[in-house]
Amino acid sequence: MTLSFFLQNVLLGFGLAMDSFSVSIADTLSEPDMTRKKGLCIAGTFGFCQAAFPLIGWFFVRFLLNIFIFLEKLIPWAALILLAYIGGNMIREGLSGDDSPEVIDHPVSAAQLALQGVATAIDALSVGLTIAEYTFMTALNSAIIVGIVTFLVCIVGLRIGKKLGESIGGRASVLGGCILILIGIKVLLDHYL
């Protein structure tokens, strides 16, 4: 592993982690009393997904190119649908509470976290095109670097979300839901623009 390979994959990791970073903020807004263990689980889920999806894309490109080309067209729509669904639920829950300024806690469920992980990482399937010439071990090293960078970026996002949630109180989950929906729209627009 050369220094340029490492730096290239760190930068790739930062680029791929931005959606996960934003969702980490939204998760903390939704669940301001989140435990450290749950935060590590969230960051770990996003890191795992961001590492796994480029490898899945690599596999598709290397062995199932025709299937990958078909699936690539569906990727942004799947991300939009998943993030809009989760974000819409967060907004609905945030608006259904009373108007008190106290913080409303809507814990992120395991199912929501799994959907968020897939929705934020699904566009990383396209990275399979850029790493298609790599051997499996090189692609695996790339994915590990991306996963670690995503994990660390999400830890920062969770801390930012906690501070932001403390300042805006009970409507934090509405803001978090809006962030998720906007990320879904961004993924779709990035694909077509």
Q: What is the pLDDT of residues 28-83, one digit of tens each?
A: 888 888 899 999 999 999 999 999 999 998 888 877 777 767 777 777 888 788 87
**DSSP count for the chain of H helices, then E strands:** 7, 0
pTM: 0.77
Exposed/middle/buried for residue 83 (C-beta within 10 Å: 0-12, 13-18, 19+): buried
Based on the number of CB atoms within 10 Å of its own CB, is 27 exposed (0-12), middle (13-18) or buried (19 or more)?
buried
For tokens 């839901």, name the residue: 177
Name the token pair of 132.
Answer: 């298609």
Burial of 35: CB neighbours in 10 Å, binned 0-12, 13-18, 19+: exposed
Q: Work out the pLDDT band at 22, boundaries 50, 70, 90.
A: confident
pLDDT, position 7: 93
How many whole angstroms separate alpha carbon 189 and alpha carbon 15? 16
DSSP state of 102: S
Taking only the tens place, the pLDDT of each residue in 128-187 is 777 888 999 999 999 999 999 999 999 999 999 888 877 776 666 677 778 778 877 887
Ramachandran assignment for 137, one of left (phi > 0), alpha (psi -120 to 50 degrees), beta (any other): alpha
Instruction: Check residue 32 and report its DSSP letter.
Output: T
pLDDT of residue 151: 97
State the Cα–Cα distance between residues 87 and 121, nearest whole angstrom: 16
Q: What single-letter DSSP state applies at residue 98?
A: -
